[in-house]
Amino acid sequence: RVGRPPRSTLLPYPTLFRSSSMARTTGFPAASIGRMIADGTINQPGVHPPEAFGSNNAVIDRLLAELESRNVRFVRTMESVR
């Protein structure tokens, strides 16, 4: 196999929010997951690392849509290595 694994990046575009890009790329996902717990989208009891929800398409699609609505985009790129 030639190439590197895909690289994922969150791109926080300028907004009217008075917060840093770091605050937006950590706080917004946490708030989105909190809303999903509150409305029952996520209903597993206990503490889970974020990657535990990576295989749940409903969670991922909603998370990315909520981030996009706040002007934070998820971009996946692949680069070949020689």
Q: How far is CA 38 from the centre of its chain?
A: 18
Average pLDDT over residues 7-30: 69
Interacting residues of 22 by C-beta distance below 8 A, sequence separation 6+? none
Q: What is the pLDDT of residue 82?
A: 65
pLDDT in tens, 24-79: 778 888 999 999 999 999 998 999 888 888 889 999 999 999 988 888 888 777 77
Q: Which of 4-13, 16-25, 67-76 has the lowest mean pLDDT?
A: 4-13
SS3 category, 21 = helix
Closest to 36 in 3D by CA, of 3, 4, 58: 58
pTM: 0.68
Q: What is the pLDDT of residue 32?
A: 93
